[in-house]
């Protein structure tokens, strides 16, 4: 009867539901409810189930604002990414957000369009709005950003990179080594005239390292990557097509293969080659990077590098959560990338048909 009265009274206004009401309906002490919320491993599965059923029935919502005032915590984390237009960033942020959400922390997302000065401004805004940690992309940032984070005592982590020598915490992979896998694959197929469509390298350590990785691997096989065989491009299919045209018409002999900085550029190059009557991969091989979903559905499917975006996002979020809780966390957390072989790459033709 008491439980029924509690239920009816609180269904009239979920906003007034208290921990004591949940405890009464669940038939346990308020302290047990608090432990079930904050330290569930310390509560038996049977009691946790009763508490969860009571919370659901009463419409109980945790008052994070009140808890933040008591603990001097905002329970908000900022995520700074170059753009929302690229699927891999969305996947990484989605995984991080899910991990933060499970810990009762909200995610504030901002973009800076690959402009490191804009990144500093956005970071300042996130901190002013209460972000108590920041998740960044890349290891190359303005010194002002690091100074601001150090002065505020705000934990942060750099994703998409892995550099054991960096003083900054990282979660990601070695971009140079990953891109070198593509160059090695094409060399083993007999390609010597290899073109590169890179992303813009200005203020972007990931694209810079990928290009250096390709150069280094080709040099290891005594293959020179001439400046004319490299072109930089913004990330879009149409820009990838334009970049492909530049490579095809300013080089002699023509490239028998093209390494692209990501799958979007690779799709652009693939479309342009086919529009000009070139068979992929019989006449020219095209390879990408990131293993976006469409890469397995293009015609032909793209050879590419698989980047575990969700794993990066989860690992970055766990690093931040551990830092905020004062736990001992590893400064550098690498993830593994994998070369995915599909039908867009094949042995080099004896000569180009261009």
Our count of domains for the chain comes to 3
Residue 354 is assigned to a structural domain of this protein? no
Whether 246 and 166 share a structural domain: no
Q: How confident is the model at residue 61 (pLDDT cuts 50, 70, 90)?
A: low
Query: Nearest 5 degrees, angle CA 229-CA 234-CA 238?
Result: 90
Q: Who wins on pLDDT, 326 or 93? A: 93
Same domain, residue pair 136 and 179:
no
229 and 200 in a common domain: yes
Give the CATH number, domain containing residue 197.
3.40.50.2300
Query: Residue 32 maps to which CATH number?
Result: 1.10.260.40
Which domain-ending residue is among 37, 62, 87?
62
pLDDT level of residue 194 (50, 70, 90 thresholds)? very high
Percent of the chain with pLDDT over 70: 90
Per residue in 210-238, pLDDT (tens digit) is: 999 999 999 999 999 999 999 999 999 99
Task: Output the six-digit token pair for 168.
Answer: 């900054």
User: Is 345 a domain residue?
Assistant: no
pLDDT at 16 > cutoff 70 = no
Partners of 207 in beta bridges: none
> Would residue 232 count as lying in a domain?
yes
Residues 198 and 277 in one domain: yes
Contact 240, 176 (CB under 8 A): no
Does residue 325 sit in the same domain as residue 201?
A: no
Task: Say whether both 129 and 149 belong to one domain.
Answer: yes
Name the residue range of residue 111's domain.
Answer: 74-173+309-336
Q: Both tokens of residue 164?
A: 């054991």
Q: How confident is the model at residue 251 (pLDDT cuts 50, 70, 90)?
A: confident
Same domain, 35 and 183: no
The verdict on residue 347 lying in a domain is: no
From the number of C-beta atoms within 10 Å of its C-beta (0-12, 13-18, 19+), residue 203 rates as middle
Band (190; pLDDT cuts 50, 70, 90): very high
For residues 210 and 239, state if they share a domain.
Answer: yes
Judged against a pLDDT cut of 60, whether residue 351 lies above it is answered with: no
266 and 315 housed in the same domain: no
Per-residue pLDDT tens over the stretch 62-72: 544 444 444 55
The candidate with the shortest Cα–Cα distance to 176, out of 186, 166, 193, 162, is 162
Q: How far apart are CA 154 and CA 134, in angstroms?
A: 7
Alpha carbon distance 325, 168 (integer Å): 19
Q: Are residues 229 and 246 in the same domain?
A: yes
Higher pLDDT, 59 or 47: 47
* Structure confidence at residue 60 (pLDDT): 66
Is 153 found in the same domain as 215? no
Is residue 349 in a domain? no
Q: Could you tell me if 269 and 199 lie in one domain?
A: yes
- Residue 82 falls within a domain, yes or no? yes
Considering the domain boundaries, does residue 344 fall inside one? no
Q: Is residue 103 part of a domain?
A: yes
Whether the Cβ atoms of residue 243 and residue 233 lie closer than 8 Å to each other = yes
Residue 19: pLDDT above 60?
yes
Query: Over the stretch 95-131, which tens digit does the pLDDT of each residue have?
Result: 999 999 999 999 999 999 999 999 999 999 999 999 9
Most confident of 37-41, 42-46, 149-153: 149-153
Give the distance from CA 9 to its chain's centroid.
46
Q: What is the pLDDT confidence band of residue 304, given thresholds at 50, 70 and 90?
A: very high
């Amino acid at each position: 009867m008491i439980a029924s009265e509690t239920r009816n009274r609180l269904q009239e206004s979920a906003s007034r539901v208290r921990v004591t009401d949940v405890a009464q309906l669940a038939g346990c002490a308020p302290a047990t409810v608090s432990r079930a919320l904050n330290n569930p491993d310390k509560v038996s599965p049977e009691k946790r189930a009763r508490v969860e059923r009571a919370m659901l029935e009463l419409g109980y919502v945790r008052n994070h604002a009140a808890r933040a005032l008591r603990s001097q915590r905002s329970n908000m984390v900022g995520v700074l990414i170059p753009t929302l237009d690229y699927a891999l960033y969305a996947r990484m942020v989605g995984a991080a957000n899910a991990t933060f959400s499970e810990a009762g922390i909200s995610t504030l997302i901002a973009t800076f369009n690959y402009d490191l000065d804009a990144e500093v401004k956005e970071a300042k805004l996130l901190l002013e709005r209460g972000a108590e940690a920041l998740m960044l992309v890349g290891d190359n940032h303005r010194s002002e950003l690091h100074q601001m984070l150090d002065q505020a005592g705000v934990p942060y982590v750099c994703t998409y990179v892995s550099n054991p020598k960096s003083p900054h915490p990282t979660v990601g992979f070695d971009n140079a080594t990953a891109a070198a896998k593509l160059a090695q694959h094409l060399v083993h197929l007999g390609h010597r005239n290899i073109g590169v469509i890179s992303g813009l390298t200005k203020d972007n350590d990931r694209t810079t390292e990928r290009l250096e990785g390709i150069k280094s691997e080709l040099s290891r096989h005594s293959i020179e990557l001439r400046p004319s065989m490299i072109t930089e491009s913004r990330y879009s299919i149409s820009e990838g097509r334009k970049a492909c045209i530049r490579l095809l018409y300013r080089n002699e002999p023509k490239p028998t293969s093209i390494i692209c900085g990501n799958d979007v550029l690779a799709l652009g190059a693939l479309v342009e080659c086919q529009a000009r009557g070139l068979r992929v991969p019989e006449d020219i091989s095209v390879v990408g990077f990131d293993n976006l979903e469409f890469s397995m559905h293009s015609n032909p499917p793209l050879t590419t590098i698989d980047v575990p975006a969700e794993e990066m996002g989860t690992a970055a979020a766990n690093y931040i959560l551990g830092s905020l809780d004062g736990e001992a966390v590893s400064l550098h957390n690498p993830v593994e990338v994998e070369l995915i072989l599909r039908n867009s790459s094949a042995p080099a033709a004896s000569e180009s048909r261009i």
